[in-house]
Amino acid sequence: MLSPADKAAFHRDGFLIVPDFVTPARCDALTDHVAGLIAALAPAQGVSIFTTDEQQRHADARFFESAGGVSLFYEAGAVDPDGRLTRPAALAVNKIGHALHDRDPEFAHFSRDPRLAAIAGAIGIEQPRLVQSMVICKPPGIGGEVSAHQDATFIRTEPASVIGFWFALEAAEAGNGCLEALPGGHRLGLKRDYLRVGDTTRFVERDEAPWPDHGWVPLPASRGTLILLHGLLPHRSAPNRSDRSRLAYTLHVVDGRAEYLPDNWLRRRPDDPFTGF
């Protein structure tokens, strides 16, 4: 699946862009499926907000339970002070997570594409474990910023082993908040840890220096593109102020040879362990 040049580029840059990984028909089918999921889940679930803004970020019971389920999380800008949605749910969801790869048949099948297993193997993941999946909606007008981070902050193994498979189900461009990354930044070391502490979470800094201002590059992605992300690669995305949505699916995989640390926020029940491809 990956040529020697692809592998070299991934190890050099910390990411690899694979255009046309998902067919247009599959992107359309998954986009329709997401609309159906939101329509089915919104009436049944309460309104939880998700934001990467640290002043507003908080982990509640729904967030922790979503480690093994499928929950909707809304944009802060779509919820009024009384906790009611100010727009239709289809235009208000920030993300759906975090176990679509196990609980949702469509995404479970999509996530177990043998090509993904081949890619994981090619970059050295010998015992892949699928730990987290999200649909990231970035709705038009209010889609929230994803602040700069490394996935290894949030999905912690010793040694760090997480990789991300990020799929553009719709075109992602500079205008609607495509991914941005710091090429080679995966060699800078892990900046911080996100820990579960009792019924809440907190960040613990390893390196107080701010992220570099320069060197970030946009990673525009046509519909169907896969972007493979090293777990230590700094990446982010801008808010979506455009009139176009920017639907993406992301799957995070760790290596079962590394210890999955007990203070991860994302924990599954003992009878519901992580599985491979």
Ligand X SMILES: O=C(O)CCC(=O)C(=O)O
**Under the rule (CB under 6 A), what is the footprint of ligand X?**
136, 146, 151, 164, 166, 179, 235, 237, 248, 250
Give the shortest CB-81-to-ligand X separation in angstroms: 27
Give the shortest CB-249-to-ligand X separation in angstroms: 9
Distance (Å, whole) CA 50 – CA 76: 7
User: Is the backbone of residue 215 left (phi > 0), alpha (psi -120 to 50) or beta?
Assistant: left
Give the shortest CB-176-to-ligand X separation in angstroms: 10
Burial of 268 (0-12, 13-18, 19+ CB in 10 A): middle
Give the shortest CB-50-to-ligand X separation in angstroms: 12
Number of residue whose CB is nearest ligand X: 237
Cβ proximity to ligand X: between 5 and 67 the closer is: 67
What pairing do the DSSP bridges indicate for beta strands 163-168 and 157-158? unpaired
Cβ proximity to ligand X: between 71 and 198 the closer is: 71
Distance (Å, whole) CA 223 – CA 215: 25
Cβ proximity to ligand X: between 91 and 146 the closer is: 146
Give the shortest CB-35-to-ligand X separation in angstroms: 18
Give me the sign of the Cα torsion angle 213, 214, 216, 217. positive
The DSSP secondary structure of 124-147, one letter per residue, reads T-SSEEEEEEEEE---TTTBPPEE
